[in-house]
Amino acid sequence: MIEMTNLTRRYGQLTAVDHVSCRIGRGEIIGLLGQNGAGKSTIMKMLTGFLEPSSGQIRIAGEELQTDPRRAQSRIGYLPENCPLYPEMSVVDFLDYTATLRGLKARERPEAIRRVIRQTELQAKATALIATLSRGYRQRVGVAQTLLHKPEILILDEPTNGLDPGQIEQMRELIRALGKTATVIISTHILQEVEVTCDRVLILRQGKLALDSHLAELTRGSTLRLSCGAQKEPLTEQLKGLPRIDEITLLNDHDDRCSYRLQVQGDLQQTAAEVARQVISAGWPLFSLHTEERSLEKIFHDITSTEVTADAA
């Protein structure tokens, strides 16, 4: 659906986006992450045709964005971080105006407006002036205007900004529902939003793509947690014949129950089965054995902390 090839954007001597390449398929929900200044907003502006790349290529549904930007933009719904709204207009009037700009015909606009008001749960505020709305309701209006033309691609910059906890949950449900038929790219500083809504995460560092991974694979990690009745020395001796275990670390030792972290290279499930067989064959009680999941926050910190260190140097 979206293909970026060596995408680069320079501002004078500053390279904001540096040779980023990736492919995003239909129906994927992508979390675009990075510290401030990493290049997230610049990439989103290039994907929407607001900015031209200094070099590189963007293809939307197989067509080059630069060749026919209007056609590509007709497939995209975009919510900028601070969505521009007209405070003197009512919600319905603003959506009708936006639908007109999107090229919807007069007979199509009423149903489109009703649909997006239902999707964003704006029924109670449909006739209210935008100037009277809370920040959260203004954010909903911003999301509603992205959906009017049923875009194939949604690009949302901080979509839960200003929402209360109940509204955040509603927005998550909406994003998951939209992801069944559209490609969704979300940029946010709230990592929990990515963990609960996204399938895949892209992390930018100093304009470069530092990580591109499916979230389930990323957080699963490569570590096993073992709790059994064996001391470290005999356990190490028992497991040393397993080629995929790189390191055994004793975490705690209490009441004849010891916990270990096993660093694994390769197939975690197969290694776990082999570890269980070894422990049981040695006659030690096996209390638990499971993969140690990593939080997205920890992964993000590990990737971006090198940037802080480099800057400090």
What is residue 312's predicted lDDT score, i.e. its pLDDT? 35
Find the helix or strand (DSSP H, E) in which 222 lies: none
Find the helix or strand (DSSP H, E) in which 183 lies: strand 183-187
Strand partners, 209: 204
What pLDDT, in 10s, does the model give residues 197-208? 999 999 999 999
What pLDDT, in 10s, does the model give residues 82-104? 788 999 999 999 999 999 999 99
Strand partners, 186: 31, 156
Residue range 71-75: mean pLDDT, rounded: 87
* Domain 2-217 is found in CATH 3.40.50.300: yes
Residues spanned by CATH 3.30.70.3100 within the chain? 222-291
Residues spanned by CATH 3.40.50.300 within the chain? 2-217
Distance between CA atoms of residues 266 and 282, nearest Å: 24
pLDDT of 308 strictly over 50? no
Which has more pLDDT, 39 or 265?
A: 39
How many angstroms separate the Cα of 137 from the Cα of each of 110, 132, 188? Answer: 20, 10, 18
The per-residue pLDDT of the chain, averaged, comes to: 88
Residue range 174-203: mean pLDDT, rounded: 89
What is residue 221's predicted lDDT score, i.e. its pLDDT? 67
Q: Please report the sign of the dihedral spanned by the C-alpha atoms of residue 100, residue 103, residue 109, residue 111.
A: negative
Q: What's the distance, CA 202 to chain centroid?
A: 7
- pLDDT confidence tier of residue 311, bands split at 50, 70 and 90: very low
CA neighbor of 239 nearest in space, from 292, 204, 279, 192: 279
pLDDT of 305 strictly over 80? no
pLDDT of 306 strictly over 70? no
CA neighbor of 141 nearest in space, from 119, 157, 169, 158: 119
- pLDDT confidence tier of residue 212, bands split at 50, 70 and 90: very high
Residue range 12-31: mean pLDDT, rounded: 93
Residue range 215-219: mean pLDDT, rounded: 77
Distance between CA atoms of residues 49 and 114, nearest Å: 28
Question: Can you tell me which residue has the tokens 């549904």?
Answer: 61
Residue range 170-194: mean pLDDT, rounded: 88
Distance between CA atoms of residues 243 and 252, nearest Å: 24
Buried b (16+ CB within 10 A) or exposed e, 296-311: beebbeebbeebeeee
Q: Which CATH number fits domain 222-291: 3.40.50.720, 3.30.70.3100, 1.10.3720.10, 3.40.462.10?
A: 3.30.70.3100
State the CB neighbour count (10 A cutoff) for residue 14. Answer: 9
Strand partners, 57: 5
Which has more pLDDT, 207 or 292?
A: 207
What is residue 69's predicted lDDT score, i.e. its pLDDT? 85
Find the helix or strand (DSSP H, E) in which 99 lies: helix 91-101
Burial class of residue 39 (count of CB atoms within 10 Å of its CB; 0-12, 13-18, 19+):
buried
What pLDDT, in 10s, does the model give residues 220-258? 667 889 999 988 889 988 888 888 888 888 888 877 889
For residue 285, what are its two tokens? 């009680």
